Structure formats: C-alpha cells, structure tokens
Chain A
Amino acid sequence: MSEAAQTNLLQPGQSITPTTGSRAPLKVKIPKVLSVSNLHKSYHKGRLHVPVLKGVDVQIHEGEFTAIVGQSGSGKSTLLHLLGTLDAPDKGEIWFQDRRIDNLPARQQEHIRNRKFGMIFQFYHLLPELTTIENVLVPRMVQDNFLSYMRNKKKYLTRAKELLDTVGMAHRLNHRPSELSGGEMQRTAIARALISDPTVLLADEPTGNLDGESGGEVMSTLLNLQRTENLTIVMVTHDNAIAEKADRIIRLVDGKVTKLQS
C-alpha cells in the first residue's frame, strides 16, 4: 500500500490533538481508536427479519483492553465483525482513527483488515495445510506480491519467530495445526494477528474453546501484549471471569449497550 494511504491513517501511539473551536470544549485524554455510533444490523432468515444490533454506541480508546460481554445472541460477535469490516451495518457509522470505515470500498477495507486489525477467533482458524510459521506469515503474504515478499522474507521470518517466541510457540515452528493443542493453536493465531503490527486486536471468544489453564495462558499472553506493544484489544466473551481482566467491559443486552464499566 502506498505511503500516501498510510499517512491518512494515524499510526499506533500517535495522539490526536482535538481541534479547538467555538463549540463546547472537547476534553479527550486518551485518543479514540474505534468509535461506533447508532449501529443497526439485522439478519434475514428467509422472510424473517431478525434485528441483532439496535443502535449501539461504543468508543474504544487507544491502548485499552475492552471486553464486550453478553449472552449468546446478544449481538456481540456481530458487533466485532462489524468493527473488523467483515460485515456491513444496516445503519450507523464506524470510525477508525477519525476515518469512517464502514462505507469504504472493499479494497480499502481489506487493507485496513490486513494492516490495522489483527483478528483471533474462537476456533483459531488456522490454515490446515500450512505450518505454524507459515500460518503466522499469511497476512504478510497477503499484503505483498511475490517479489516484495521474497525481498522481505528474512525480515518477516525474524519477526514471526520473535512473535512465536513471545506467545511461547518457538518450539513448534514447523508443525501443522493438526499436531497442535487448542491453546497452542490459539497462541499461533495471536502471533498471526500481530505479524502486521496492527493497531487493534479484535478477539472473538479467544478462550471459548479452551480449558481453564490454556484459556488463562492465552489471556495472560494478551494482557502481556497489551502492555508491551501498547496494543488496543477488543475482546468478545460470554465469560464474566475472563472479562474481569479487561480495563473496561461493555455489556450488550438484546442488541443494545446497557452498561459501561471502567
């Protein structure tokens, strides 16, 4: 992606100085990374119209670990998909670093997904044909063409190994996902999410399919990363115990935010 496109987007850690105008003074201590206003989304099952999100407003701040909790069907996964531009809202706006992203053309959304967002999923979603290290490198392969990938391969490999070391997977570089445990797969997925040095990590029930111990390890890895890499994390979970570890909890009930905890 060109430099021009990148300069439009703010780099991680960069602060936004609010424009002071004649309006009411805007006091922003922590810059907003993601903000959602009046988001509506519904699904159609045949002729049945199922509203999932009914006007959600959420602000995610830089360097913050936000947990979105709610019952099954409360729309928390849908909200995360919308944040990650995997789906388009029916109504409302999604802003990423002062830029509306929900109505961008597909190519720019793909670019944001690839460079700015890291995503991890409940079912890890690793590619079964690739080894651990190759899975981690996939986002880099997606963004580079063949030649530039080959040119940068050494750099990427070093970074991938570093990340796998951080998540404690350095000993399993050349294993296939089928040879890994659930916790290992999820940690590999975290390394993959971080290979492009994203601004925001979007996690969809990262511990949902893991036992307590593995889930704990994954959580501590995430918390560690938030601290060391100054990562903004948005995590969807139905597990209140896991959510407690977050800086802030957004509770979704029936497609609406009911309570914000700090």
Chain B
Amino acid sequence: MYKLLLSWRYLKTRFIALASIVSVTLGVATLIVVNSVMSGFISEMQDRLHGILSDVEIASPGLGEISWPELHVREIERIVGDDLLAVTYVVRVPALMNFQFRGRQWTQQIMLMGVDEQTFGQVTDFNPYLLNSNKRSAINFQLEEQGYDERIGECGWDYRRKKEENSQRIEELIGSSMNAQPIAKTDAQPLDSQTTGPPQGSVTFAPLPMAAPTHQDTVQSPGQQPTEDTMPMGFSAFDPHADLREHVSPEEMFNPSRDQHTGIVLGIAIASRQFMNPEGEREELFMVRPGDDIQITLPTSGPTPSPITENCTIVDFYSSNMHEYDSTFAFMSLRKLQEIRRMIDPVTGSSTVSSIQVKLKDGADLNAVRDKLIAFFPPHQYPYVIQTWQDTQRPLLSAVNMEVTILNILLFLIIAVAGFGILATFFMIVVEKTKDIGILKALGAPSHGVMSIFLSYGVSLGTVGTGVGIVLGLLFVYFINDIAGAIQWATGREIFDPTIYYFSQIPTVVSPLMVVLVALGAIAIAVLASVLPALRAARLHPVEALRYE
C-alpha cells in the first residue's frame, strides 16, 4: 500500500522526473513513425513490385527464348505439385514506339510484354492497375466504348471516331483545294491526319470526285502546274490508292472509325508527361490516348533479327504508380506478339516464349520452389534464370530493409540514452529520499518493499512516457500526409515528390506487434534504469540512512 502511495506522491511532487522521460516519449514516437512509414513504404512497394512480377519466373536471359514451353510447364507442375496455382507465358522484347504529337514524330523506347489474356491476370496482379474498369475483370486488347478513367480526358471509340471524322474532313478540304489547283509532285504534302487546323476559306464538302471549284480564295500552292504527261492516268496526288478503291469494297477496307490495329496497353508514364503549371499545380499532359494509333518497331525472333514494324492502337493505360514500371512497360497479346516476331513454328505450331511465370498458393515457400526448379533445370545445362519476384528486386528490398534495421537500432539507442537520463534522475531521487528509506525500514518495511517503491516509480514513469509516445506517434502517422502538406506549405518545398518516389502519398502501415514491441522495449529500459537506484535504496542500512542529513 505504502509503495503505491509513495510512488504516486513522488510522481506528483517531482515533475523533473517527467522531464527525464520526455526523451523516452520522443524516442517511442519517432520509432513508431519511422517503422510505420518504412513498413508502409515496404509493403506498398512490394505490392507494386509484385504487380507484374509473378511469384517465380523461369526466364531466358536477354532476348533468348524457351522452346517447347508446354513441356516445361508439365515438368513444373510435377515439381511444384499442390502449391501451384497458375502458370503463364510471357514474351519480353525491347521495342521502339513511334507516335505523332503536335505534328511531330516522337520515338520512345519501351519494353514490350506479350501476355496471355486468360492466364496473365491469374499469375500477377496486373488487372487492378488497368485504368479501364471493363478490363480489370478480364484482360483484352480491344478498344472500349467507355469505362476509361476521367483523368485521361477524351478517349476510346468516341475519340477515335471523332478524330477520323476530323481527318476525313481535312482530307476533303485538301482534296477540294487540290482539285482546284493541283499541287506539283515535288511539293506534295504528306497526308498527316494529325495536322489539324481550321479550314481555310469557305469550302463546300462534296463527295469525291469534286466538281470544279468556283472559289478563288483557296490556298494557292506555289510551283509549277502539273502537266498532263507527268500525271499517269487515274493517279491523283491526294489519293494514291484510288485504284485500290475500285477493287475493294469500303466494308473490307480498314476504317479507323470502325477498326483498330493490334491492341496495346501502355504504361501511363510512357504516354504522359507531368509538369507544374504556373499556379504550381501538377498537371498531366497526355501525348497519346486510348484510341490513338502508334507504330511499334521490334526485332524478329531467330538467329538474324531484323526490325519489323507493327501498327498498334492504344486500348488502355497501365498505372501501377510505380514510375519504373509505368514508364517502361507496354503490353500486347501474347499470341499476336509471337506472330509478329515469328515465334511460332509453322511446322509444329509450337511457339517459343521468353519466360514462364508461376503463381503459387498463398503461404507457399517461394525460395523452396525456386530451389527445386533450379535443381531440375541446373544452370550448367539450361540457360535459364530462375528467380522469385523478391530476387528480381532484391537490391532495392534489401537496401530498404537494411535502412529499417539501422534506423531501429539508432532510435533504440536514443531510448537507451533516455534510460541513462532516468538512471541519473532516479539516483538523485534515491539520494534525496535516503532518510525516508531509513524511516520506512525503521517502521518495519522490508527491503523489497522499499525497492518496489522505486521500481514502480520507474515503471509508471516509463509507462506514462511510452503511452504519450505511442499516442503522439500514432497521431503523427495518422496525419502524416497533412503534416507533410503543412511543411510543404510552410517551406514552399515539396517534401514528397511523387515523380521521385513511387507513391503519390506517404504510405503507412501500423503494425500492432511493432507498437507493442516498441512499448515493451521502452518500458523495459525505464525499468532497467530504475533497478540500480532501487537496489541501492533497498540496500541502504537503516541506521546510516537515518543518520543521513
């Protein structure tokens, strides 16, 4: 009883002791904040890193290929056994993407992935990152009428039809002016569907062939007039395929308002640029949108790769918010890509792939499966790289993990330093209370009773300090994005730039176990720091203590 009463009274009358545990409070709060942010960072990053990576991958290095993948899968099924959930094939090939924007040709390097519509979504977490809501349930490479994210703006079939309508109108405009004053071959303008501009002069839209124009104020192109002998019969400079039109019906012809090329899904950062507008807000500019056509140039398969170009239509964007992926990857139908790259054996019908990706059941030991596969496909016999998704991202993950470990050690040292502060303060209190200890002993209080006064004093201080620290830390974690925003507002500097980090917001994960461990650790340090003074108090000789003045 007296133990509780006295340690309570000591607490109430000695606020300086509370000051000594402010460092415990701060240490605990910092530990919680750092751990929450770090584990949020790690788990978010792992989710995203894992996004298009399968659990285990058997890949041919570089642009190499795996022949007879079906046979491999049969072996994999046998080796992995019950842990196996799904398997898919992927073709990976670097490619060049060419598109037109603002009247110019832009070329960009991408990593083109041929993925299987049915199985890729089962093996990886690809689907949720697609921007079109219709494609999230099942991947396809068809342009959609609707379901696109609003941030992209106008896109889809509507956009494609409107664009086609527009270019039709321009072609007609040009056609009408050409008919009025045919342009010399040397000055022939490329028929660029993107060179939009307001129609010049008032022209009537009449179907081809056009009647002779009556207007004098149309665009005049300089140069010589074409003569009859330079123009072959039936050839028109603005419609080089007029000849073809006669043989092919309009329904069979490629009509951009109705047809699409090979569907391709682009990483959103390939298609867009972020910039700061004068108001200091972040703006996203899309250079191409779903519905636009682009050209992809890629090497063919086989011993003599040669470039091949394929017209593609963007059908969707992929946004994992992981800049490394979003700015690199483009996705296409596996079968289509194999056809383009001539990876299908015309005799056997068997195709080759770049990698076989394996999805395991939750809780399966990835490393064990990987080791089993390596044992079956020994590196000196098979030119395969077999690794888990964590192996793929090991340098990044282990760097972050090491950071967490070091931060934890450093912050725990802060609390340990705080422990020495408590030790010193408690020693002072024990010295100050020497006489009281003598009195208590003279009144028959046992040594362990005296000791427990100071121990419970330490425990309560540690608990209070830790409790306040936990509350502070959790509040900080809860409002961390607001705090970041406030600091940004106050300093005018962006402290969390989403283009540098992988995330648009600071991710946090509060693990209850971590909070409990930090709390226990801090209380243990407070208790340990009070053990020595308490022992000293318990060992005091009553006569000496009473004589103490």
The residue in B2, B436, B445 that gathers the most chain A C-beta atoms within 10 A of its C-beta is B2
**B444-A125 in contact (CB<8A):** no
**A119-B443 in contact (CB<8A):** yes
Please name all residues of chain A whose beta carbon is closer than 8 Å to the beta carbon of B5 when the two chains form the complex: 130, 134, 141
Please name all residues of chain B whose beta carbon is closer than 8 Å to the beta carbon of A141 when the two chains form the complex: 1-2, 5
Please name all residues of chain B whose beta carbon is closer than 8 Å to the beta carbon of A139 when the two chains form the complex: 443-444
**A142-B442 in contact (CB<8A):** no
Please name all residues of chain B whose beta carbon is closer than 8 Å to the beta carbon of A159 when the two chains form the complex: none
Chain B residues numbered 262-287 whose CB sits less than 8 Å from any CB in chain A: none
Complex Cα distance, B1 from A112, in Å, reads 19
Q: Which of B12, B13, B443, B546 is close to A142, meaning CB atoms less than 8 Å apart? A: B443
A206 within 8 A of B: no
Nearest Cβ distance between residue A88 and chain B, in whole angstroms?
10
Nearest Cβ distance between residue B184 and chain A, in whole angstroms?
109
Chain A residues numbered 87-138 whose CB sits less than 8 Å from any CB in chain B: 87, 106-107, 110-115, 119, 121, 123, 125-130, 134, 138
**B2-A142 in contact (CB<8A):** yes
When C-beta atoms are compared, the residue in chain A nearest to B541 turns out to be: A87
B542 within 8 A of A: yes
Complex Cα distance, B444 from A115, in Å, reads 8
**B446-A138 in contact (CB<8A):** no
Q: Main SS of chain A's interface residues?
A: helix
Complex Cα distance, B549 from A149, in Å, reads 32
**A145-B1 in contact (CB<8A):** yes
B414 within 8 A of A: no
Please name all residues of chain A whose beta carbon is closer than 8 Å to the beta carbon of B543 when the two chains form the complex: 81, 86-87
Chain B residues numbered 175-206 whose CB sits less than 8 Å from any CB in chain A: none
**A129-B439 in contact (CB<8A):** no
Please name all residues of chain B whose beta carbon is closer than 8 Å to the beta carbon of A86 when the two chains form the complex: 441-442, 542-543, 546
A144 within 8 A of B: yes
Please name all residues of chain B whose beta carbon is closer than 8 Å to the beta carbon of A142 when the two chains form the complex: 1-2, 440, 443-445, 449
Complex Cα distance, B1 from A104, in Å, reads 25
Given contacts A138-B2, A141-B1, A149-B1, contact A125 B439 (CB under 8 A): yes
**B436-A127 in contact (CB<8A):** yes
**B9-A130 in contact (CB<8A):** yes
Complex Cα distance, B155 from A86, in Å, reads 94
**B449-A119 in contact (CB<8A):** no
- Count of chain A residues near B, Cβ 8 A: 33
**A84-B442 in contact (CB<8A):** yes
B465 within 8 A of A: no
Complex Cα distance, B4 from A150, in Å, reads 13
A143 within 8 A of B: yes
Given contacts A86-B543, A106-B447, A146-B4, contact A119 B442 (CB under 8 A): yes
Contact pattern, B 129-145, Cβ under 8 Å of A = 1, otherwise 0: 00000000000000000
Complex Cα distance, B473 from A154, in Å, reads 44
Please name all residues of chain B whose beta carbon is closer than 8 Å to the beta carbon of A150 when the two chains form the complex: 1
- Classify chain B's interface size: 20 to 34
B10 within 8 A of A: yes
Q: Which of A84, A119, A144 is close to B1, meaning CB atoms less than 8 Å apart? A: A144
Nearest Cβ distance between residue A92 and chain B, in whole angstroms?
17
Complex Cα distance, B439 from A111, in Å, reads 15
Q: Which of B4, B6, B438 is close to A129, meaning CB atoms less than 8 Å apart? A: B6
Nearest Cβ distance between residue A176 and chain B, in whole angstroms?
10
Please name all residues of chain A whose beta carbon is closer than 8 Å to the beta carbon of B541 when the two chains form the complex: 87
Please name all residues of chain B whose beta carbon is closer than 8 Å to the beta carbon of A146 when the two chains form the complex: 1, 4
Complex Cα distance, B542 from A114, in Å, reads 14
Complex Cα distance, B546 from A125, in Å, reads 8
Nearest Cβ distance between residue A113 and chain B, in whole angstroms?
4
Complex Cα distance, B507 from A94, in Å, reads 74
Please name all residues of chain B whose beta carbon is closer than 8 Å to the beta carbon of A144 when the two chains form the complex: 1
**B445-A110 in contact (CB<8A):** yes
Complex Cα distance, B435 from A106, in Å, reads 20
Nearest Cβ distance between residue A188 and chain B, in whole angstroms?
13
Complex Cα distance, B441 from A149, in Å, reads 19
Nearest Cβ distance between residue A94 and chain B, in whole angstroms?
15
Please name all residues of chain A whose beta carbon is closer than 8 Å to the beta carbon of B443 when the two chains form the complex: 113-114, 119, 138-139, 142, 192
**A129-B442 in contact (CB<8A):** no
Nearest Cβ distance between residue A217 and chain B, in whole angstroms?
22
Nearest Cβ distance between residue B432 and chain A, in whole angstroms?
10
Please name all residues of chain A whose beta carbon is closer than 8 Å to the beta carbon of B436 when the two chains form the complex: 127-128
Please name all residues of chain A whose beta carbon is closer than 8 Å to the beta carbon of B546 when the two chains form the complex: 86, 121, 125
**A129-B444 in contact (CB<8A):** no
Nearest Cβ distance between residue A142 and chain B, in whole angstroms?
5
Please name all residues of chain B whose beta carbon is closer than 8 Å to the beta carbon of A87 when the two chains form the complex: 541-543
**B442-A127 in contact (CB<8A):** no
Complex Cα distance, B449 from A134, in Å, reads 18
Given contacts A125-B546, A129-B6, A129-B9, contact A106 B444 (CB under 8 A): no
Please name all residues of chain A whose beta carbon is closer than 8 Å to the beta carbon of B447 when the two chains form the complex: 106
Please name all residues of chain B whose beta carbon is closer than 8 Å to the beta carbon of A125 when the two chains form the complex: 435, 438-439, 442, 546
Please name all residues of chain A whose beta carbon is closer than 8 Å to the beta carbon of B1 when the two chains form the complex: 141-142, 144-146, 149-150
Please name all residues of chain B whose beta carbon is closer than 8 Å to the beta carbon of A134 when the two chains form the complex: 5
Contact pattern, B 522-549, Cβ under 8 Å of A = 1, otherwise 0: 0000000000000000000111001001
Given contact pairs A112-B444, A114-B445, A145-B1, enumerate 13 new A-B contacts (beta carbons under 8 Å). Answer: A87-B543, A106-B447, A110-B446, A111-B444, A114-B443, A114-B444, A119-B443, A125-B546, A129-B12, A134-B5, A142-B2, A146-B1, A146-B4
Chain B interface (Cβ < 8 Å from any Cβ of A) = 1-2, 4-6, 9-10, 12-13, 435-436, 438-447, 449, 541-543, 546, 549
Enumerate 28 A-B pairs (CB-CB under 8 Å) in ascending A order: A86-B441, A86-B442, A86-B546, A106-B447, A110-B441, A110-B444, A111-B444, A113-B442, A113-B443, A115-B444, A119-B442, A125-B439, A125-B442, A125-B546, A127-B6, A129-B6, A129-B9, A129-B12, A129-B13, A130-B6, A138-B440, A142-B1, A143-B444, A145-B1, A146-B1, A146-B4, A149-B1, A192-B443
Chain A interface (Cβ < 8 Å from any Cβ of B) = 81, 84, 86-87, 106-107, 110-115, 119, 121, 123, 125-130, 134, 138-139, 141-146, 149-150, 192
For the complex of A and B, list the 9 residue pairs with the smallest distance between their C-beta atoms, beginning with the closest.
A114-B444, A129-B9, A141-B2, A113-B444, A141-B1, A149-B1, A125-B439, A110-B444, A142-B445
